[in-house]
Amino acid sequence: MREKSSGRNPLHSTEDSQVLLWSDRRSKTYEKGSHVGAREPLRRSSPFCECLGERFRERKGHRLKKQAVRSREVPTMILKLQMFLERGFALNMLSNYLHEIREKRPIDYFTTGLLLYHSFGTITILVEELVMVYVMMVRAHLTESTAMRLVHVISLFQCIAANEETRQELIKCEIPNLLMPIVMFKSPFEVYENVRAVALSVFGIICERGGPAAIRWAFQMDILHICWFIMKFGNELSKLIALHILEFVLKDKFGISWFLSGACDPGRNNLLQTMEDLVMTMAAYNNCLPRLLFHIIRCYIFLCADSRGHAIMKVALPIPLNDPTYPSILWVYL
């Protein structure tokens, strides 16, 4: 006997949709000829493929509408930071929202920075979150979930630092100084390297876009010691961000003048020695990290632009950069 039909369109069934998607993928494989003994490929003009395409377009439009609604919900999420029980959810949502719009909608990104800085009590709440983490760090109670929550908090500071109207106010209040213990903290959790990288990126944004005032602030905060620490103990991503910060300092007239002054002798010597050790280690183990080596060389080039830095680099330039150890990478600078 013929089974009774359920009266349901098979395209609205999850299992049937998965089968149809699998069939579409198989047809692509057959067309490429990578499957031995393949049958005749399914035609792309078949009705169910057209119907699936319409459904995917509808879903894509729904996601775009949902994203537009979320942008209008940003003030509500900022208000939810006031409520302790909903603060974790609000931090997560705001952080993900900022990550999505940072490149696609920079105007909305900067507007969110204004809302975060000028909304009542928000900066105080974010500082409280940092202080709570300090206590856990001292008592060795830091967990991976706490580290991820800290990433969300710092991403909001990152948004505020990216805004021209709030960046200088952030420096005047010395709020970025509160991130220094987080950058210098050593944690056994791998996820904490993400925390360190995000915190360093706040310093990088300030040094890149803040002008001479930001460079002065960076030297007052002992940015050379921070860069040395990261170059010594951080992972590759953190080292790249630290080298970016050093590049911004060396490109500034005041920055390179301060870097080459006698007051910076200990920090400068430690930093140059650590950079030389990295180059020598990559050459000894034949384990070149191209991006890392690229930015180290850029720092050397910026130093050579000054007569005092040129004299230093005559003595401090690593040996592998003078011999054919890295011919393919050095060709970029010829």
The pLDDT tens digits for 49-86 are: 454 455 545 554 544 444 433 678 889 999 999 999 99
Do the Cβ atoms of 17 and 52 come closer than 8 Å?
Answer: yes
The pLDDT tens digits for 87-135 are: 999 999 999 999 888 888 889 999 999 999 999 999 999 999 999 988 8
Backbone angles phi, psi at 48, to 5 degrees: -70, -30
Per-residue pLDDT at 3 exceeds 70? no
pLDDT at residue 38, as a whole number: 43
Q: What is the pTM of this model?
A: 0.74
The pLDDT tens digits for 199-247 are: 999 999 999 887 888 999 999 889 999 999 999 998 999 999 999 999 9
Domains and CATH numbers, the chain: 47-210 (1.25.10.10), 230-334 (1.25.10.10)
CA distance 313 to 334: 18
Q: Quick one: how many helices (H) and strands (E) in the chain?
A: 18, 0
